[in-house]
Each structure stands twice: as structure tokens, then as C-alpha cells.
Amino acid sequence: MDFELTSEQKLLQDSVRRYVDKAYGFEARTALLQSGRNGSAQNWNLFAENGWLMAALPEAYGGLEGTLVDSAIISQELGRGLVLEPYLGCAVLAAQTLVAGGTPAQKERLLPQLADGSCRIALAYSEPASRGNPESVTLRAERDADGFSLHGRKSLVLGAPGAQAFIVSARIEGTAGISLLLVDADSAGLTRQALPLHDGSWVEELTFEGVRVGADALLGEAGQGLGALRAGLACGTVTLCAELIGAMEKTIEVTAEYLKVRKQFGVPISAFQALQHRMADMAAELELARSMLHAALASLANDEEPARLKTLSAAKMLIGRAAKLVCGQGIQLHGGIGMTEEYLVGHYYKRAVVADLLLGSSDSHEALCAAALQAELGV
Amino acid sequence: MDFQPDASLEAFREEVRGFLRDQVPEDLKGQQRCTRSPREQIMRWQKLLNQRGWGAPYWAREHGGTGWSVPQILVFDDECSAAGTPTQDAFVHKMLGPVLNAFATPEQKAEHLPAVFNGERLWCQGFSEPGAGSDLASLRTRAERDGDHYVVNGQKTWTSYAHHADWIFLLVRTDAQVKKQAGISFLLVDMKTPGITVRPIRSIDDAHHLNETFFDNVRVPVGNLIGAEGQGWSITKFLLNNEHATTADLPELKRYMRELRQFATVLRVGDEPLGARPEFALKLARLDAELQAVSMLVQRVARLEQLHDPASHVLGSMLKVRATELQQRITEAQIEALGDYGAVAYPHPHEAAPAQPYPLQALARGISNDMFLRRASTIYGGTSEVQRGIIAKMLFQF
């Protein structure tokens, strides 16, 4: 195991950090929030030009043959700037589900377009009652003469605004298991309702009322979609966790600087031990969370599925809670200014709150860990 | 950054396992290691390790040590703990030994190092005093020069295992006129010297590890001074900065978790195993996740130590705070897992068993002793509050 970045990884980190520092200042971000949904197409093209969208895609399909570590590095830096473009939703969740579940022909057709940013696909796996569980699927796909007709709902689809297509999890009538289908975003019978999240990003609620797709819309084999979905979600979970590491880093840096300049009782408030110790606890929380991210990356590289799933859930739970704690304390240590919309620290907390609920809340993942432990123990 | 397992480290683990399996007699295995092992066992274990060439597992080759990397040391500790071997004398191996290697004269090395390797001399540490805890530099035990001796007067406290020790390494004040740190010297003292009195302090874990140690006109040869007069504080800082990755006591944390998992299957609540209860399973999940994160943090700190990266200090302080809190939480969870019987004061494992065994004794004995003893983890080696101060100053320059 090696915790230091290789020179290539360092270059990647530096390039994303330079971009975020330059293009994602607080005012620029505020302007982006007001001008569009989920950032700008211009920024997305820049992500593509810099190779960030293709970093973890296979070389055979226009990618750079990187690993999940690359996605984590990119995401951590994006998290420092609360970047709005849907890197997680489109470049990781949907792209990696496609990598894991698509046929060679489908990958050949779609992945190069995802890699160069010319097409965006979003992953529609969650439903109103599923709370992050990919196996909880009620959306029906009825077979007809030359394809399928879809009925049901998908909730909070990340990266949906601006996506040209969705990967939709469904149950095909008469077929056991979960299937994945590729659905055009402008299909007849598909209603898309945009919803704003607390962090300023937008998602979509999708309603399928007899949406028709051809037989070639099926991703991989019928009934065999869960493995690919889990693979995509694993990458997405790690990426989201890495983003939160970046958000915590920035919150702690900003707060430390503030404590040095804010004076009360005639001294910088960083002189007060109560605040020093709080900062030390926040820093320790961050480093423990970072180690949990490393544990998740290590588990995905080395472990069998039950251990992988347990570690991923542990990571989502522990890092999600750490981010809420650290970013919440960022507000607390700022005092009143931390409550204002015009100051950045509150926005990190909002992202932490949203992230904790996405891809399964920390409570859900805690329950999954508990169930996994019970299975290990045979109780 | 990559997370592939290190094949050479796994091969090393097999080598340690082979030694433990084939060359360590059964009566030196299968013990709980939270507290120090009895004197005779420490000595037998030390001789056995020395025969294998592993007499100083933590030291560099140039000092006769194994030259193991920090990750190798962690593997060694992990395997020894899993096998339940006796403990080594940590005071000399982890604290005094590196000081001797770095600061002692050839005569001092010749006097003390062979006894470290062959396990014939146990050490204790004389640092804290009734008035000098976290503010160690305010210590008052004084050593006054009288010909070729120092005359030591004063009191040390929390001197763990002084009642088993042959020698003590001692911080004394040799100059009261200078800044408090500058007047401290580092002295080695034979515990058989006239004028030393050791009084036991019984601790809340119902055992005797701690002592008060009194020095009444104790005459110590000048040749027992390590370094120069007044150098004691910088030697102490060197000593305390020597190791961070092992402060987590990861092998013990893992043992606690193994035991807790065993409780989950063996103990019953109503007609189901404890582990089937959601309140227990959720708690186990939280502890298990945190242990996973702490384990990885240990590896990170070990790696930084190996590279002599100064970042290992601040990360080590964070690890100390979080790992010691986890020690407390897992051992508390163990008591809670025992249900009503968690409240029973079973006899300490080092004491005689009661004539009529207490209910659940085979499983529960020793659990509460570890739990109470672990309250000390966040106090010794720099309290959690001192660590937080260090983190805030080093990381943020507050």
C-alpha cells in the first residue's frame, strides 16, 4: 500500500486544483448558481478537454485507462470548490455502470461520447421508497413486439438536467432480477420534473408512462443488471466520499484562517483553547475519514463482494457523518457570519447534508453494515 | 497512491507466524496482553526472541536490532498479540533503548544493552511527579552533585511496574537556577540502591501496576548520567517522539473487537443471540467501521514514520486521540454486551479464582479490568487535551 500520490496523480490533482482555485471562487460559483442548472456547458467541455471525464474510462473506448483512485482525486478537488457540474452523476455513476454492464457494441457507441463530453448520461436507479437500495426496484418493463414499454418512477436522478439519456433500472416482466435500459431523455411518455437540492444543484424526478424503447436499449443481459449497477454505485460512493474529504479540507482551512483574523476580547479568537481543541477534533475527524476512504479504495481493489459492500457502506456512513460534523462546526466557529448566504462556509455544510442523504443515507448504510456483520457472525 | 497488498509484507507475516507456531512453547501463548505479563514470562519471551535474532524488534540493525520497517513492526506486534505471547519490556524497547543507542557512552551501552537482549534486566520510567503531570518540566526531584555521585531526593509517581523493575530511568533537576526545561537531567538508577522506597497504588482496574517511588538521599554514580547535565529535556522530547503508529495499540483494539464479536454469538437475549438484536448490531457496525478507519490511519502514520516525514507527529497525535477513545468505547461495549453480568466485579485474572465460580466467569473475567484500565489510555503518553493542543499548534499555528 502506498499513500503518496504518484507524479502522474500529483499532476492530475494540481490541474484540478488550479482550475477550481481560478474558476470556482465564491463569487463565480454564486453567479453560476444564478445563471444555470448544474454549472455550465462551457465548464463541462473544459473538464472533457482536461481529460477528467475520460480519466477512469477504458482506453479501448476513448478513456485514459485510469482507476477509481483517479476519480477520487478529481472529485476531492472538485469538492474543495463545491463544483456544480455533475461529475459524480454523469462522469462516474452512469459512465461506470455502462463500463460494467454494457455490451462491447454499446460501449463502443456511447463511452467515447461520454469521454469527450459530447453526450451526458445520468443513472436513474433510485425510487421514492428505495432510499439508496439498488435492489428496491418497482419500475416495470413490459415486453412488446420489438422492445419494452416502461411504467413507473425514478427519483432524484443526479446529473439529469442536461443529460441526453438515462440508464434506468427496471424489472422486466417474466424475467427475474434487475435489468438496465437505456432511455432517451426526450422519449414520449417520459415526464421530467426538476427539483433543486439544498446545495444549489438540480436533480430530476422521472415518471415513465408507457415509455417505448427498442430491444437494443437493454444494457447487457436481461435480469443481469444488478452487478453493473452495484459496480457503478461503488464507484459513485467512493467518488462522493472523496468529494466530502475535499469539502472538509476547505472548511477547515477557511475556518482556521478566520479564527486568526477575527478578534474578540482584544485577541484573535484562535487564542482560545476551546476553539483550538474544536479545530483539532475537526482535523482528526477529517483524517479518520480520509483513512476510511483509503480503506474503501483498498477494499474495492482487494476484497470479495461481501467485504467490499460492507466497507463501502462503512465509508459512506462514517465519511457522511464526519462531513456533517466538520462542516457544521465550521459554521459554529464562524459565529453569525457562518449563517449568511453570502459566506461560503454554510454552503459546505449544505453540500454535506445533501451528500449524507444521496446514494443511501448514513443510517441506511449503518443498517447495511449491521446486517453484513450479522451475516458474518451467522446470527 | 495505490492499494495493492504488499507481497513482501505478507511473506514476512508468514515468517512471524511460523516462528510463533514452531518455536514458542504453548505455555507462552494464549494470554491476554492488555496489562504487562509477569516478570518471569517477559524474561523467557525475551530470551526466546533473542535466540531467533529478534531480541530488539524495534531497533535499527546498527544497534543490533532487526532493522524492520514500521509496517513490519506492526505485523510483528499484530501476530504476537493474536498468538497471545507475553509482552516485552516496552519501557526499554520503545523508550529507553533508542535513548541509549543515541546518547549513551560506550561504557553505558556495555553495561545495559546486553541485559536488554538477554532479558535479565527490567526497567521502569521515573518521569511524572505529584506536581508534574502534563507540565512535566516543572518536576522537582533533585540530584545534587557530591564527588563522583549524584544524591537524589524527591518523589516520582505513576511509576508503572516499579515493583518488578531492576532499574529506573529518571528525570531529575540538576540546576534550579535556569529555565525549568534547561535544568533537567536524565539519570539511570539501580532500584536496589539504598534509599529507594516503592509504594503500590491500586488502580480502578482492581490491579497493581502503578506505584509511588520515593528517593531519600539515593547515591547514584555520576557515570549513570545520560548525555550532559541539563540535556534531559531534549532527550525526553527525542524519546517521546520515537513512535506514533504503535500508540493506537491496534492489536489490542482488534482483540477487543474479536471478543465483542464472540459475545454476539455466544450470549443470548431472550431466545435469540445478542448479535441478532438491532441495538447491538448497529453499535457493532459503528465500532467496526471506526476500527477499519483507525487501522488504515495506523498504516498511514507508519508509512510517514518510515519516511521520517515530520507530518507523522501531528497525524500521530490525531491517531492517539481517536484510537484511545475507541479503546474505551469498544471495552465499554463489551461490558454492555454482558448485560446484567457486566456489573459483576469478577476477580482479576491475575488473582485466585473464587472457590465457587461466578456465573459467566469463563467469558466475563478480565473484561471489566481492561475497560477500567483503558480510562488511562487517554491520560498517559500525553493526555488527549495535550494532544489537541499539539494538533492545533502544529497544524494551524494558533
Judge: A1–B388 Cβ closer than 8 Å, yes or no: no
How much of chain B, in percent, has pLDDT values that exceed 70? 99
Can you give the pLDDT at residue B241?
79
Q: Which value does ipTM take for this structure? A: 0.96
Can you give the pLDDT at residue B243?
77
List the single residue in A284, A315, A374 with the smallest CB-CB distance to B322: A284
Judge: A292–B292 Cβ closer than 8 Å, yes or no: yes
Look up residue A135 and give its DSSP letter. Answer: T
pLDDT band at B244 (very low <50, low <70, confident <90, very high): confident
Q: What's the one-letter identity of residue B249? A: D
pLDDT band at B33 (very low <50, low <70, confident <90, very high): low
Which residue in this structure is represented by grid cell 439544498? Answer: A198
Tell me how far CA of residue B369 lies from CA of A228, B284, B364, B373, in angstroms.
Answer: 49, 21, 10, 6
Q: Spell out the SS3 assignment of chain B.
A: CECCCCHHHHHHHHHHHHHHHHHCCHHHCCCCCCCCCCHHHHHHHHHHHHHCCCCCCCCCHHHCCCCCCHHHHHHHHHHHHHHCCCCCCHHHHHHHHHHHHHHCCHHHHHHHHHHHHHCCCCEEEECCECCECCCHHHCCCEEEEECCEEEEEEEEECCCCHHHCCEEEEEEECCCCCCHHHHEEEEEEECCCCCEEEEEEEECCCEEEEEEEEEEEEEEEHHHEECCCCCHHHHHHHHHCCCCHHHHCHHHHHHHHHHHHHHHHHCEECCEEHHHCHHHHHHHHHHHHHHHHHHHHHHHHHHHHHCCCCHHHHHHHHHHHHHHHHHHHHHHHHHHHCHHHHHCCCCCCCCCCCCCCCCCHHHHCCHHHHHHHHHHCCCCCCCHHHHHHHHHHHHHCC
pLDDT band at B195 (very low <50, low <70, confident <90, very high): very high
Judge: A284–B284 Cβ closer than 8 Å, yes or no: no
Judge whether A131 and A110 are in contact, CB under 8 Å.
no
**How far away is chain A from the Cα of B74, in angstroms, using its nearest Cα?**
14
- pLDDT exceeds 90 at position B240: no
Mean pLDDT of B338-355: 92
| Other CB atoms within 10 A of residue A155 CB | 17
Higher pLDDT, B353 or B99: B99
**How far away is chain A from the Cα of B335, in angstroms, using its nearest Cα?**
19
- pLDDT exceeds 80 at position B242: no
Which residue in this structure is represented by grid cell 482506453? Answer: A59
Can you give the pLDDT at residue A281?
98
**How far away is chain B from the Cα of A67, in angstroms, using its nearest Cα?**
10
- pLDDT exceeds 90 at position B35: no
Chain A residue nearest residue B387, CA to CA: A280
Mutation for B interface: A261, A291, A368, most B CBs within 10 A: A291
Can you give the pLDDT at residue B34?
64
Mean pLDDT of B277-301: 98
List the single residue in B292, B318, B391 with the smallest CB-CB distance to A311: B292
Judge: A256–B396 Cβ closer than 8 Å, yes or no: yes
Higher pLDDT, B245 or B343: B343
Measured distance CA(A70)–CA(A377) in Å, rounded: 35
* Residues on chain A touching B282 (C-beta within 8 angstroms): 366-367, 370
Measured distance CA(B256)–CA(B324) in Å, rounded: 13
Judge: A298–B296 Cβ closer than 8 Å, yes or no: yes
List the single residue in B2, B295, B297 with the smallest CB-CB distance to A287: B297
Mutation for A interface: B288, B296, B314, B383, most A CBs within 10 A: B296
pLDDT by residue, tens only, chain A of 379 residues: 899 999 999 999 999 999 999 999 999 999 999 998 999 999 999 999 999 999 999 999 999 999 999 999 999 999 999 999 999 999 999 999 999 999 999 999 999 999 999 999 999 999 999 999 999 999 999 999 999 999 999 999 999 999 999 999 999 999 999 999 999 999 999 999 999 999 999 999 999 999 999 999 999 999 999 999 999 999 999 999 999 999 999 999 999 999 999 999 999 999 999 999 999 999 999 999 999 999 999 999 999 999 999 999 999 999 999 999 999 999 999 999 999 999 999 999 999 999 999 999 999 999 999 999 999 999 9
* Residues on chain A touching B300 (C-beta within 8 angstroms): 3, 291, 294
Judge: B318–A283 Cβ closer than 8 Å, yes or no: yes
Chain A residue nearest residue B272, CA to CA: A379
List the single residue in A270, A374, A376 with the smallest CB-CB distance to B276: A374
Q: Could you give the residue numbers annotated as active site of B?
A: 243
Mutation for B interface: A13, A77, A275, A377, most B CBs within 10 A: A377
pLDDT band at B36 (very low <50, low <70, confident <90, very high): confident
